[in-house]
Each structure stands twice: as C-alpha cells, then as structure tokens.
Amino acid sequence: MITLTLKEQPRVPLEAEAISPDVMAKLRHDEIRAVPMFLGKRQRRLDDFFEVEGEASEDLEIRGDVGKVKWIGRGMTRGRIRVAGNAGMHLGAYMKGGTIDVSGNAADWVGGEMSGGLIRIGGNAGGQVGAAYRGSLTGMQGGTILIEGSAGLEVGMRMKRGIIAVKGSVRDFPGLQMKGGTIILGGAELRTGAWMIRGTILSLRPIPLLPTFAYNCNYNPSFLRLYAKHLQIQGFSIPHEEGDGAYLLYSGDAAVSQKGEILIWQPRASS
Amino acid sequence: MLRITGGRVYDPANGIHGEVKDVCISDGRIVAEVEGTGVRTIDASGMVVFPGGVDVHTHVAGAALNFARAMTPENQREAVKFIHSPELRAGIGGITPTTFATGYLYAGLGYTTVNEAAVPILSARHTHEELRDTPIVDKSCCVLMANNELVLDLLEEGETERAKQVVAWLIWAAKGYGVKAVNPGGVAAWKWGKDAKILSEPVEGYSKVTPAKIIASLAAIVNDLQLPHPLHIHCNNLGAPGNISTTLETMKLLEGYRAHMAHLQFHAYGGDGWNSLRSEAATLAEYFNAHPNLTADAGAILFGNSVTITADGPWQHLLYQLTGHKWGNLDVENETGCGIVPYVYKGSNLVNAVQWAVGLELLLLINDPWRIFLTTDHPNGACFWRYPEIIHLLMDVDFRRERVRKLPAKALKRIVLGDLDREYTLSEIAVITSAGPARALGLSRKGHLGPGADADVAIYNENPDRELMFRYPRYVLKGGQVVVEEGAIRKVVDGREFIVHPSFDENIEEYLRPLFEQYYTMSFDNYPVEMHRVEGADIRECG
C-alpha cells in the first residue's frame, strides 16, 4: 500500500491526476516522490505536498483534507484509492475501473464521464456527479457512484449508463438531458429529468415535477428487485416489496421524448 | 543574408522542378546572389526546397469561428496544448485552434500565407484584431457580399454602377482583399426561413434579383474594379445531392469572367437524395478543364471530427436536422448570417465516403494543377494541419487504392477514385499548395523563389513517407527568418495583411449614410475599420 499524507493545504488547487493506481503501480518510492504535478501554472513534485510511504502498489491511501486536490484517480482502470477526509473536484473523472472511497465530502464533478468502477462518498458531493463535461454529448457511461449524504446541481447530466445513488436530497436538474442509466435520489429540488430522453430516475420521497411529465401508473418494476439486491450489499436499501407500497410512474420529458421515467415511492398508507 | 544550399528546389512558377541549386536571401527577399562575409548558410542536402505554402481558402478568424470555438469545448479538451513559454503564447490546437496557435500550426506545416475566406463587414474589425494575433503567416480577407441587402437593393433597382461604387466602398471599409459570394441570395432568403435553390428564381423579398443576377453582377464588378483576386464563390445548394447542375449553371454564368470556385468538393454531387448520392467529379472536371477562366480549391474532407462553419445558414439548419448535433445560427444584420454544426465524417457512412472520394477525384481529374488548390475548407472538411494526409493520398496510388478498398461496398459504385492512376509529383504539390494559390490570389511576391519574392521558404527532409515529410518541415523561413526548425517554433515574427484600395467615388458616402441611419445598429462613422487596427498593412491600389 502507498500512503500519501498531505503536508499542508495548497493555496490554489493542485492538479493531481498522477494520484492513480495506474500511475503508481510500478513506481519505486523515489519515483513516486518525484511525480510531477501542476500547482497553478507551476510544475512541482508530489513530495512538495505529500509525505510518501510505500511503493509499487495499486492500493493508495490519502490522508488529510485534500479538498483542494483535483483529478484524483483520473482515468484509473484498476486498484483502489481511499481518501481519509474530503476530496477535491473531478474525483474519478473518466474512471474505467477500480474503487474510490472517500470518508468525507467530495467537490463537484465526481465521476465526470466515467465508464466503469465504483465511487463511494461518505459525506456530501457537489454538483455534476457523473455528468458530461461542458460541450460533451455524453456523461457517465457505466459504473456506480454511491453518496451517503446530499449532492448538488445537475446530478447525472447526460448520463447514458450506470447507477448514481444519493441517500440525501439533490438540488436542481438531476438527470438533465439524461440518455439512459439509473439515478436514485432521496429527494430533489426543481426540474428533475428536464429534457431526459431515456433512463430512470427514482425518488424515495415526493418531488416537484415538470408539467412535461405525465402520470402513467402505479407499479413495482421487477428490475428493482435486482437493483435492490445489488445496492443492499453496499448499504443502500431501496423499497420494492408490494406490501410496503408502490411507485408512481411518470413519463417524459414530453418536450423531447416520452421514453424517460421518473418513479416516486409511495408507501402504503398504514391502516 | 542567407544561402540555402544543396537542396532540390521546386519552384514551378519559375520552371524549376527539382534542380539542385542555391536559394539566396537578403533583407527578407529572394535575391539572385549574396556575397561577402556574414552570409549564413543552411545546408539543405537531401532536402527539398519549396516556396512557403499559401492557403487560398480557410477560416481562421472572426465571429463565426469564435462561435465555433465556444460551441465545442469538448474538442478543445482533446486538443494539442501550447504551453506558455518565453517565445510562445499559450493556446490550443485541435479543430478550431486559438489565434496564436493557428499561426504556429500553419508555420509548422510550411505555410506562410493564408486567406480568410468569409468576413462579414460588420465583424471585420474584430477579424483584423484576431489576425493581428495570428503570428508568422501573412493574411488576407475575402469580404461577404452576395447577400448584402444594400447591394441587392441596388441590383433590384438596376443601379449597377452605384452597386459597384458601394461594393468598392465596402471592401475598403472592411479592409478586405477580395469579394466572396456565399450561397448568393440564399442567406438573405434564410432570414425569411427560405433558401435560394434555383438560380433563375427571384430571391425571397425581391422581385427582380435572382441568384444568377447576383453572381453575374458581382463577377462583373470585381472585374471592373480590377481586384487582384477574382470573385470567390461558394455556389448555391452546397452539400445537396444533385447539386452538380447548380454548379455547372453557376460556371456558365461566369463565362467571360475570372472566378474562383470555393471548396468544389461540396458542389459535385449527383443523385436525387442521400441514398442515391454519387460523385459527379468527372462531369465537373470535364467542364472545368475546358474553361481556363476558372480556378478552384478542393475543399476535400477527411474522416474524423470537424466543425462546419459557413455563412450558408439554411444548409447548416438542414445539417443540424440530419445529425441532431449542436447547432448555432448567427444573423449579421443586413449583410449575411452564419451557421455552425459540429460534425463527424465517418468512413462507414455512405455519404461521407462519397464526399471523401469526390475531393480527391477533383484534385486528380482536373488536369491543370495551376487551377485546383489543396484545401479542406478548414475547419469544415478537416483541419488544415491534416493537409499532409491528402498529399500522401495524391502522391501514392497504391496507398490511395488501399484506402478506397476500405470504403463501404455501396460507395464504390458511386465513385471513380479507384480507377484513377494519376500520382502527383513534388512539383505539382508545390503548385497546388503554393504557386497556384499565390497566382490566383494575385500575390506576385508569394508562391515562388525568384528574385524579388518574399523569402518564405519551406524545406522538407526527402522522405518516401510523404505524410511524414510534409507534416514536419526541417526548416521554415518567413521573410528570410528561420521560424521553424525540426518541427519546433524557433522565432515568432508578425505577419502582414494584404489589403486592396479600389477606387470609388467619395460621394457614395452621401448615399450610404442615410441608409445606415435607417437600417444599421452601428453608426456610419463607426462602421469602416480604421487603418491603425490592421497591423502590417500592405495596401494595393486598384482600378
């Protein structure tokens, strides 16, 4: 295992795409220390910012508040990163495989345009979780993002595949221009699923809906049993038993298509 | 003073085809001989020496290109980065390079002169400011005129002489070099949601003005004004199946005038729908070969990512509907418009495969290299830094056939590229990339290496891999200074701008002033580009 301990918070964000198992797996201790990273426009070394222990491993642990360290695990394909503290923007962006665990909060763009792997955030996440970068037509294309707390704007914007599950509530525009995949929310603010073409958004609490979503029926989709089983292992529970209640299915967004679905959990009224 | 020695020189304008001879430079110009001490020598043994490249039709500055840059951040993330250094400004390459990077990339390819082919007068000031920030290369601008309502109104009234005065005044106001006609009448009609598809039918909003009238009138005006570059025309029905008839009709209208046909590849299609689209390059080339009044540039496409940007608004709307990709539309008051749609050309797509073949077929079927020039209508067909890929395809028939075989089987029945044996020689490449376009632009000091020419020289390592050879020149000289060495920018110099000053009756301003007050958002006095905005202006008096 390689342990990186932050010496002190950088004053401007540190570009740390080199903190990835793919980069570190074959490096010796002194090579890891010399890995280049940009602080603003200046090129510096990893050991200017971190104490380094260990070498040549796909298992990384980062200690300290790296809330200003960007691009951790960018494009990683394997291995594991654990962050004991907060993580900065673009955590696991373009990730293809492996696991990232963050015990604290994560900033914006967690798993931006990722295509595989698992990201778990113990606290809250910022906006644009699993989203498409500006201008791109497609966001997240696979993998799983699990958030224990809340999240910000545009969660899953233009996502095409994969799962994003947020226990808490999210802000406006979850699933904006979504093309596929599944977003599970503990509630949301405004304009959920705006311009969604396909895909599923599931809310465990009532949410305000756009007028372009039409009520369809009450049902308990069978695929949810599978999802529930899968997410249960990760500590996320989704209600799906008929005895407990049903989902109200709304179809939309009629502004672009009727193929997207928003499911809102309605517990059975206790008698 | 500088002497380039030992290289095989290709200077087709002066009848030199690969002779080993010295090229001498003094004070930024080519001279017959340099003597005395302090003569630096570049040993070009094993290399070929070309005049610096001239791009007759490209889009490197202005409002439309900026709109394209803003619309495609996803391309810019993938683009080559230019890191700020003591010599270089920061920038990015990619499909729509930033201003400074455009200069570096063109120079890095051996190109030293570029013609920005579509400048609305209203955004000319901004265009010149961007061109000032496009270093190394010399520049010129073609000004959009075929949908200018001031001009069209005069043609409607039959006031041809006054239209000529207005055109001349507008060219000088924009500090332009030539006149460009884009989809004549079609962009004006687009403001009514229409297009101008038939050359003999009146343009929407007019009763007498037809595309044919606009084309013939502008060609005559450009002729009368004695501009160095003839009318630069983008025909109606760009990109549409069966547009060969429109293109031929346009060429017939131009009989008796010189004209430059822009990006001919997009205008040489047969068939009556996307499913029946086929190459008509042979038909077009046959007519073109028999009409020496015309020049053209290829507007070839290459497979991959691109952004289409053109003043042809109605076409862009159609392209957006076809692709479902992003679409931008700009209206430029009384003058023109512009549409932007990012596009990916795919080898597996039947239409794209035919387009790819048509560009190469035109370059191979038009016999006289002095009349067809290498372009991709950057960034529409492909980026200018991909020109070496086209050179490779032109120079190597086996490589070309191998590529043709990879096209969809259906496409092979609609093209003739597989049957063409012609291979370009190095001399012919020097013609289509430099000598020819320089002559078409009327730039007497460009495109050759005779005494008096600007000392713009590209020196390439002789290499059987033509793509590699032309991608990385060994040296590039601009105005006698070594600006590129082994693929790296050594020195950044400022480029000049070529401008024409056609003669016109000053009283035309009395006619224009009230029209401006009535129709324009900009005041008349603020409209012309001030001379001091143009850096390194090289003014030519005409008429």
**Does A237 reach chain B within 8 Å, measured CB to CB?**
no
Residue A259 lies in a domain: yes
pLDDT at B36: 82
Averaged confidence pLDDT in chain A: 95
The domain that holds B363 is classified in CATH as 3.20.20
Nearest to B494 by CA among B121, B178, B177, B89: B89
Domain range for A188 is 108-267
Tokens of B127: 């265009």
Which pLDDT belongs to residue B487?
A: 84
Provide the shortest C-alpha distance from residue B391 to chain A (in Å).
32
pLDDT digits (tens, 9 = 90+) for B344-402: 999 999 999 999 999 999 999 999 999 999 999 999 999 999 999 999 999 999 999 99
Q: What is the pLDDT of residue A186?
A: 96
In a domain, A14, yes or no: no
In a domain, A194, yes or no: yes
User: What pLDDT is stored for residue B117 in this prediction?
Assistant: 95
β-strands B537-542, A69-70 pairing: unpaired
**Model confidence, pTM:** 0.90
A41 lies within 8 A of chain B by CB: yes
B85: nearest CA partner in chain A: A41
Please indicate whether, in this complex, the C-beta atoms of A133 and B75 are within 8 angstroms of each other: no
Tallying the residues shown for chain B, one arrives at 543
Domain count, chain A: 1
Helix (H, G, I), strand (E, B) or coil at A129: coil
What is the predicted pLDDT for the residue at A271?
58
Say yes or no: A269 contacts chain B, CB-CB below 8 A.
no
Whether residue A135 lies within 8 A of chain B, CB to CB, comes out as yes
Closest among B340, B335, B331, B313 to B121, alpha carbons compared: B335
Confidence at residue B141, expressed as pLDDT on a 0 to 100 scale: 96
Average pLDDT taken over every residue of chain B: 95
pLDDT of residue A26: 93
Has residue A145 been placed in a domain?
A: yes
Q: Does A133 touch chain B (CB under 8 A)?
A: yes
pLDDT single digits (tens) B37-61: 889 999 999 999 999 999 999 999 9
Per residue in A246-263, pLDDT (tens digit) is 999 999 999 998 899 999
What is the end-to-end Cα distance of chain A in Å, rounded? 55
Residues of B with CB under 8 A from a CB of A: 71-77, 84, 325
Other C-beta atoms closer than 10 Å to the C-beta of A91 total 33
| H/E segment holding residue B296 | strand B294-297
CA–CA–CA angle A44, A47, A52 (5° rounding)? 155
In a domain, A133, yes or no: yes
pLDDT attached to residue B11: 97
Q: What is the mean pLDDT of residues A17-28?
A: 95
What's the pLDDT at A36? 95
Residues 6+ apart with CB under 8 A from B462: B8, B46, B47, B48, B469
What ipTM is given for this predicted complex? 0.77
pLDDT confidence of residue B63:
83
Residue A243 pLDDT = 87
Given a cut of 80, whether residue A85 has pLDDT beyond it is yes
> What pLDDT shows up at residue B279?
97
> What is the span of the domain harbouring residue B260?
53-442
> What pLDDT score was predicted for residue A81?
97
Contact B74/A41, CB-based, under 8 Å? no
State the pLDDT at residue A242. Answer: 85
User: Which residues, other chains included, contact A191 with Cβ-Cβ below 8 Å and sequence gap of 6+?
Assistant: A172, A173, A176, A210
- Name the domain count of chain B: 1
Q: Of all residues in chain A, what percent carry a pLDDT higher than 70?
A: 99
pLDDT at B324 over 90: no
Q: How confident is the model at residue B325 (pLDDT cuts 50, 70, 90)?
A: confident
Residue B200 lies in a domain: yes
Out of B73, B84, B325, the one facing A134 most closely (by C-beta) is: B73
Residue B525 lies in a domain: no
Q: Using 50, 70 and 90 to split pLDDT, how confident is the model at B35?
A: confident
- Return the amino acid letter for B304: G
What is the side-by-side strand order in the sheet with A42-45?
Answer: A42-45, A36-39, A14-15, A69-70
**Residue B311's pLDDT band (boundaries 50, 70, 90)?**
confident
Residue-wise pLDDT tens digits, B172-221: 999 999 999 999 999 999 999 999 999 999 999 999 999 999 999 999 99
Give residue A140's pLDDT: 97
Q: Which residue has the higher pLDDT, B116 or A40?
A: B116
